[in-house]
Structure formats: structure tokens, C-alpha cells
Amino acid sequence: MAGCCTFRYGTVAALTRSLRVGEQCVRMFEGYRLPKYVCSIIRATPQRSISALGVLRDQEWPVPPFGTHASSPPLARRPSHPLGIIKTSIYEYLQKADPALKTFDDLYPVVTVKANFDDVLVPADHVSRNPNDTYYVSDATVLRCHTSAHQLELLKRGEPAFLITGDVYRRDSIDSTHYPVFHQMEGLRVLGPEDWGSMEPTQYAETQLKQTLEGLAQHLFGSVEMRWVDAYFPFTEPSFELEILFKGEWLEVLGCGVTQQSIVDDGGFAGRKAWAFGLGLERLAMVLFDIPDIRLFWTEDSRFLSQFKAGSMKTKFKPYSKYPPCFKDVAFWLSDSFTENNLCEVVRAVAGDLVEEVKLIDSFTHPKTGKTSHCYRIAYRSMQRSLTDEEINELQWTVRRDIENQLKVELR
Ligand code: PHE
């Protein structure tokens, strides 16, 4: 599920690398194959319309349907979009308790590898650095995979208390809760001796962090049962996840912890402490507003959008129609380099938002050749209309062709 699950694994190891930023990183877009729909999201934001990005328009990626309405203004900055409503509600609550918190909603999503990983102490061998998980724009730049990519940058600008909201990008599987772009909110608060007084500083930070976030969860969900679970993030120690009991199930709502001291020190706040948290806005919105499919956030259909009102957290989404899904299977012998994320990328590049799920339904290893075959079931479904057999068959043929050509697998 879109949320905070990438950084749980691995061990902490500080890293340094010198990389260049600015103009340089933008020019590196050239010749690099990012899926076009990801590019169009970036381009859609006015202050992101850096001319060099225009280069991407000419690349060969087909444009999935949502590419053309890729959110301008960005979803979380629309006051009556579910993501904007939740963002505003969280800002209001947290800023009431702590007026010093400044908000940042328009930080550019292409960041250096250094900012995304090294600056927040993500180990060199951490899975999230793999191009199979993160969109590399160049060797030195990525589409941020979390808003933590801006922690150090803002600390260095002298900001001691901030909330960041932005689109984040992860290569992933396809189902109703995963989308290659989703939205996170990051919070960070620096504390000083004037705050912790005679208390042990880390203990104080942890206590204040937990109180703040428990209050936030109550603000959002009412009086629910909650629990804290120990977690691992490279940039915090100790680290926790907050879970709430929702419809009988424990649901992870955010990740957080006491910021690693070296980050606070590097940021220019030596002698102080900090806490930080990160949460996924789609996940919260899906639960709070009963939104069943993550693709709906990207629709411009007024039957969706008109159900939400700025300032109202009480809306329960009423599905306006549920068109039937259409299932197509594809089976092939794997190649060494095959990954499911790559498969999903190929399928989404062809079918865009018409693909609802890609699911492994059979795996078989030949006893003699040792070769492995996978069979995937692709669910096609539109939120807007019935799909015709003809168009699905055509999509499926293109999907099969592209799987064969791009993934170097042998179709069965
Ligand atoms: N960046 C983490 C994630 O995306 C969430 C997080 C933010 C955890 C800040 C701790 C502190 O998974």
C-alpha cells in the first residue's frame, strides 16, 4: 500500500558523495527513459516547467490516459480534492498546536541521489536505491521516493520546524492501493534545551513526538484504539510506526522517530534534538473517505470530484458505478533480469489507468531445463465506462509484444 514501507530494512551507514545539483541535474533528463506519464506529472506544475523537460515529450513512451490530465495544479494543492482536504486538515491541527511549523508544498520532485539517500543516511546497499524501486533520472538524480529527501536541505536553510507535502515516486506492483506516484507529508521539529529542561533530550523528543502524532490521529480518526510499533528507518533512532484499529484491523498510518543526531548536526543545529514523521496521504484519504481505488485520485470526473468539499472531512465516497473488470492472462519464461516492477511498468505504459491489477497466478519450474515460467493475470477496468472487447484485445496484444521486446522474456 502506498505509504511508508520502503525504509524499514538494512543497517545504518553514513555515506558521502559529492554530486552536482541545479541546472546540471535537469539537463540529465535528456536521453534518459522515464515513463512519459511520470514526466507529464512533473511538467504539469507551472513552476516546474523548466524548458529542458520539454525534451521528454519526444521520447517513445506511449502516454497512458492520465498523462494528459496530470494534475495542474497538483492534487494536494487543490482545496477541494480529497488529498488537499486532508493536507489542510493536518496543517490546521498541527499548526494550532505549534504555530512555528512552516509549510512547503512546492519543492521540486527531482532531487539528487545525495539528498534522497545519502543525506538521510540510507545505506549504500539499501534496496530502495535499486533502479528497480526508484526512478533514476540520471546517475546522480532521482524522482524523490520520499519527502525525507528535503529534510537536510531545509535544516541547512535554517528552518527548525516544517511540514512538507509533495508527490513521491516509486516503481511498484499494480493493484488498488499502489500507484507509481503518491503523496507524502513530512514533519520535522528541532528542539532545544529550553524545551526539554531537566528531561533527557531523546526521551523528551520521543514523548513530544508521540503526543503530537497521537493527537493528530485522534483529530483525523476520532477516538480510535492506537498502538506504537518499533520500526527501523535509517534517519531516525529510535523509530516507530503508529497503527490504529480500523474496522477490526490494525492499520499503519505513519512512520516517525527521533532524528539521527548527525542529520541535526549537519543541518546546522548542533546541540539540539529533532523528531520527524512521514505519512502517506492517499492511504489516509482512502480510509477516511472510503475511496476504493488509488487511481480515482487522478480522475477529473466530476462524479468523483464533486463529492468532496474543501474543509469537510466527513464525506464518504459513493461509487458512481462499477464497470466490470476484464481479465487477460499472459505467461512467459523468465529471463535473468526479469522483475515484477519492470513488468508493471510495461503494462502501465500501454494501458495506463485502465489497468487495475497485475497478479501472479501461476509459477512453474521445468524439471529438465530448470527454466521458470510465470503466468500473470491482468485486470483491466475503467472507472468511467465499459471497455469493449476489441480495445482490451488490442491493449493485450500490445502488452504481449512489449513484454517480449522490452523484458527479453519468451512468451508461452
Ligand atoms: N520517509 C519514510 C518513508 O517514506 C517515512 C519517515 C519520515 C519515517 C520521517 C521517519 C521519519 O517510508
Q: Mind listing the pLDDT tens digit of every residue in the chain (412 residues)?
A: 444 455 543 322 221 122 222 332 232 333 334 555 555 555 544 333 322 232 233 232 222 223 333 456 788 999 999 999 999 999 999 999 999 999 999 898 889 999 999 999 999 999 999 888 888 877 888 889 999 999 999 999 999 999 999 999 888 888 899 988 899 999 999 999 999 999 999 999 999 999 999 999 999 999 999 999 999 999 999 999 999 998 889 999 999 999 999 999 999 999 999 999 999 999 999 999 999 999 899 888 899 999 999 999 999 999 988 889 999 999 999 999 899 999 998 999 899 889 999 999 999 999 999 999 999 999 999 988 899 999 999 999 999 999 999 999 999 9
Determine contact, residues 163/151, Cβ cutoff 8 Å.
Answer: no
Q: Residues near ligand 1 with C-beta < 6 Å?
A: 4, 6-7, 146, 148, 186, 233, 235-236, 255-257, 276-278
**Would 314 be classed as within a structural domain?**
no
Q: From ligand 1's centre to the CA of 49, what distance in Å?
A: 28
Q: What is the pLDDT of residue 132?
A: 84
What global pTM score does this model have?
0.83
Residue 316 lies in a domain: no
Name, in order, each residue with C-beta under 8 angstroms of 340's C-beta and a sequence gap of 6 or more: 173, 358, 360
Q: Measure the CA–CA gap between 281 and 285, rounded to whole angstroms.
A: 6
Nearest CA to ligand 1 atom 4: 4
Pocket test for ligand 1, best of 233, 235, 260 (most atoms within 8 A of CB): 233
For residues 350 and 292, state if they share a domain.
no
The confidence score (pLDDT) of residue 61 equals 27
Which grid coordinates are listed for 39?
Answer: 514526466
Q: Which ligand 1 atom minimizes the distance to the CA of 6?
A: 12
Q: What whole-number distance in Å separates Cα of residue 179 and Cα of residue 1?
A: 9
Do 272 and 336 lie in one domain? The reply is: no
Q: Domain holding 407: CATH number?
A: 3.30.70.380
Pairwise CA distance, residues 243 & 72, whole Å: 33
**Same-domain pairing of 171 and 58:** yes
317 within a domain of the structure (yes/no):
no
User: Do 94 and 228 belong to one domain?
Assistant: yes
Report the nearest-CA residue for atom 12 of ligand 1: 4
- Cβ burial of 295 (10 Å; 0-12, 13-18, 19+) is buried
Is 359 a domain residue?
yes
Q: Which phi-psi region, left, alpha or beta, contains residue 312 (left: φ > 0; alpha: ψ -120 to 50)? A: beta
Number of domains in the chain: 2
Q: Which domain holds residue 367?
A: 326-411
- Is the domain of 338 the same as that of 203? no
The DSSP letter of residue 297 is: G
Residues 157 and 102 in one domain: yes
- Asked if 282 and 407 sit in the same domain, the reply is no
Q: Is residue 116 part of a domain?
A: yes
* pLDDT score of 139: 82
Q: How many CB atoms lie within 10 A of CB 305?
A: 14
| 19 in a structural domain | no
List, in sequence order, every beta strand (DSSP E) within 95-153.
102-104, 110-112, 141-143
Domain-ending residue, one of 276, 297, 318: 297
- What local confidence, expressed as pLDDT, does residue 3 receive? 45
- Cβ pair 192, 208 in contact under 8 A: no
The verdict on residue 358 lying in a domain is: yes
Please check whether residues 71 and 191 belong to one and the same domain.
yes
Q: Are 333 and 364 in contact (CB under 8 A)?
A: no
**Rg of the chain on CA atoms, in Å:** 22
Give the β-pairing of 326-333 and 410-411: antiparallel
pLDDT reported for residue 20: 27
Do residue 173 and residue 94 come from a single domain? yes
Report yes or no on 272 lying in a domain: yes
- Say which CATH number the domain at 215 has: 3.30.930.10
